[in-house]
Structure 1
Amino acid sequence: MMKLLVDSANLSQIKKLKNIFPVTGVTTNPSILAKESLLPQESLKEVNHLLGPNEEFHVQVLSENAIEMKEEAYRLLDNYRDSLYVKIPVSEQGYKAIGMLSKEGVRVTATAVFTVQQGILASLAGADYIAPYVNRIDNHNADGIELISKLSSFFEKEQIETKILAASFKNTKQIEDALLHGAYSVTAPPSLVREMGSHTGTSDAIKGFKNDYSQAFK
């Protein structure tokens, strides 16, 4: 089943979105945490409390060495939830850490994926999710949606269980295209989640319904 996650650590925004839209989890990274007024540990703690037992929480490590990544992953699991997805960037040390953690049953999201090859290597290492950065891929003169399509086809052909969690969007068209081309799930900032659910045509229609009714039954 497709999932919609919020890419944010802003508590008020996450609360609002969860009350309106079918949000199934939250993703964060160090850059997102740096934007909030709370200390990173406090932000993560509060976000964790907002999530239900079946909702996903993806948190990224800061360490760059595989052993240290593994140690940090277990600290995150101790502090938050057993169902946490530990985000590991796809560096050489990252692949090693993904392999170690996946063998021990830790759920891993391979992040900062920019090429098909990186996605394949991360899946072979045992990642549960891979997170291609759609808009950033486009900014590097490649095609983020094409990458998703290729990986989705490859995973399906080879019966690979790794799922695609598409990330890094600048507009809702990219989100739509990612889902239509094989992304299992997407994570988007609050502004784009709200934009997905709105349209001027809908607003105009609602006003028209009310106006027509009022005119007929004065």
Structure 2
Amino acid sequence: MEIFLDTGMVDEIREAAKWGVIDGVTTNPSLIAKTGRSQADVIKEICEIVDGPISAEVIATDAQGMIKEGQELAKIHDNVVIKLPLTEEGITACKWFSDNGIKTNVTLCFSVNQAFLAAKNGATYISPFIGRLDDIGHDGMQLIDEIRTVYDNYGFTTKILAASIRHCTHVRDAMMVGADVGTMPINVVKAMFKHPLTDKGLSQFLADHAKANA
């Protein structure tokens, strides 16, 4: 499973990029707004740090507006992926981008039916929101599992991008059910490195080394 960093903060991306485990970045209007900078400037800088898919989201709500915005975003860098909402207008725009060789990430997916429509129109990525489903008492991971089954049944090449990941259990479960990508905040990636027995073992090794070389 590929790991994408879900952020608009360039400093976080620089830090995580040093670890060598980050394959791409996802952003959205809310994340970009936190930076106080224009989306184009942020996306351009991210593309200079991470050599992988960088999702940039349109703001328009109509298909023609999305296409116009997406064309401008795609000019920033070859790695830019146009992020579209899972609406009738978004899926319509998705088809246009697919037909014109521009990669897309269809976001705000909460059902298998939605994921099926996005795949039919050639979405590069589909983003089911695990955490938001869990918040309302649904099983977000079950949705990932169901989409995996449907995509495999019909040979769709759309990649399942598990989004709204809140903790390491989400990451583990997404890998177990076959998500192609997991996008997550930097604190979750950092937590993936951690285990109390690793810390305990390292402390013991260092203590024994110090004692042996005293």
**Which residue of structure 2 aligns with residue 46 of structure 1?**
45
Shift of 1:178: 1.0
**Which residue of structure 2 aligns with residue 195 of structure 1?**
191
Q: Give the 3-state SS of the residue equivalent to 2:102 in structure 1.
A: coil
User: Contact conserved, 2:40 with 2:73, CA < 8 A, in 1?
Assistant: no
User: Contact conserved, 2:17 with 2:50, CA < 8 A, in 1?
Assistant: no
Q: Which amino acid aligns with 1:51?
A: V
Q: What does the per-residue CA deviation read over 1:69-123, in whole Å, with 9 as the maximum and x for residues that have no partner?
A: 0111000012x11232111010111111111111111111111101111111111
* Distance in 2 (alpha carbons) for counterparts of 1:72 and 1:110: 15
Q: Does 1:182 align with 2:178?
A: yes
The range that moved more, 207-216 or 144-153, is 207-216
TM-score by length of 1: 0.94
**Which residue of structure 2 aligns with residue 130 of structure 1?**
126
Aligned positions of 1:64-83 closer than 5 A: 64-78=61-75, 80-83=76-79
2:57 equivalent among 39, 44, 60? 60
Q: Which amino acid aligns with 1:76?
A: L
Aligned positions of 1:1-218 closer than 5 A: 2-52=1-51, 55-78=52-75, 80-218=76-214
Q: Give the 3-state SS of the residue equivalent to 2:22 in structure 1.
A: coil
Instruction: Please list every run of 5 or more consecutive structure 2 residues that lacks an aligned counterpart in the other structure.
Output: none
Q: What does the per-residue CA deviation read over 1:118-177, in whole Å, with 9 as the maximum and x for residues that have no partner?
A: 111111111011000100011232211000001101111211111101110121101110
Q: Which amino acid aligns with 1:66?
A: A
* Distance in 1 (alpha carbons) for counterparts of 2:160 and 2:93: 19
Q: Give the 3-state SS of the residue equivalent to 2:18 in structure 1.
A: helix
* Distance in 1 (alpha carbons) for counterparts of 2:44 and 2:12: 16
Q: Which amino acid aligns with 1:5?
A: F
Shift of 1:198: 1.6
TM-score by length of 2: 0.96
Alpha-carbon RMSD:
1.2
The range that moved more, 40-49 or 86-95, is 40-49
